[in-house]
Amino acid sequence: MDRFWLLTWTTYGAWLPGDIRGSVTSVKEGEGPRHRHNRHGTAYDGPMPGLRRSALDLMKGDPVWLEAAHAAVALQQFHETANHREWTIMAAAIMVNHVHLVVGVQGDPNPADLLQDFKSYSSRQLNAEFGRPDSGTWWTKSGSRRKLPNEPAVTAAVKYVLEQEKPLVTWPIHGERGT
């Protein structure tokens, strides 16, 4: 593998901009352009009640909360997508409101395309198995795409993903090696 990425995204409506837990949001700083605080080592944006209320008003349906059956279907589809694209999933964790994947890829594809492929193909399979959510989507629009620069960063990302609290499913299980 040439490149490794830590991909993270949330389910629709489960973690809104301005949330009390913090969020990664495009914010205006003074008179300059908007900035997105999503670089490694930068703090999340703090609670912004007005922004959260605005996001709630724009929602097209209830928040999506995953269950174990959803996680199993999504994980299977993540593997099918990776195999088809000749990518390697090093680690995966699916929680009720978000997903983490560590993925190895050949070459230097656009990381937004990696994220979109996993989200779109899993959405199709989830729709087929469980029906489309009222909002029309399982996932939020974007997500985090962090390039892992070296082997220690890959090892740390895999450890981080596999040590998530209360996952519905993780992979690999019982020390299996990623494929």
Residue given tokens 């609290």 in the structure block: 165
Distance of CA 77 to the CA centre of its chain: 14
> Which tokens belong to 8?
């993270």
Residue 63 to residues 11, 25, 68, 104, 120, Cα–Cα distance (Å): 7, 18, 17, 31, 18
Rg (CA), the chain: 17
Q: b or e along 141-151 (b: 16 or more beta carbons within 10 Å of the residue's beta carbon)?
A: eebbbbebeee
What does the alpha-carbon distance between residue 117 and residue 110 come to, in Å, rounded to a whole number? 11
pTM, two decimal places: 0.83
User: Domains in the chain, start-ordered, CATH in brackets?
Assistant: 3-12+63-171 (3.30.70.1290), 26-58 (no CATH)
Query: Mind listing the pLDDT tens digit of every residue in the chain (179 residues)?
Result: 799 999 999 999 887 777 767 666 665 666 776 555 555 555 666 767 777 778 777 889 999 999 999 999 999 999 999 999 999 999 999 999 999 999 999 998 899 999 999 999 999 999 999 999 999 999 998 899 999 999 999 999 999 999 999 999 999 964 444 44
Q: What is the pLDDT of residue 177?
A: 45
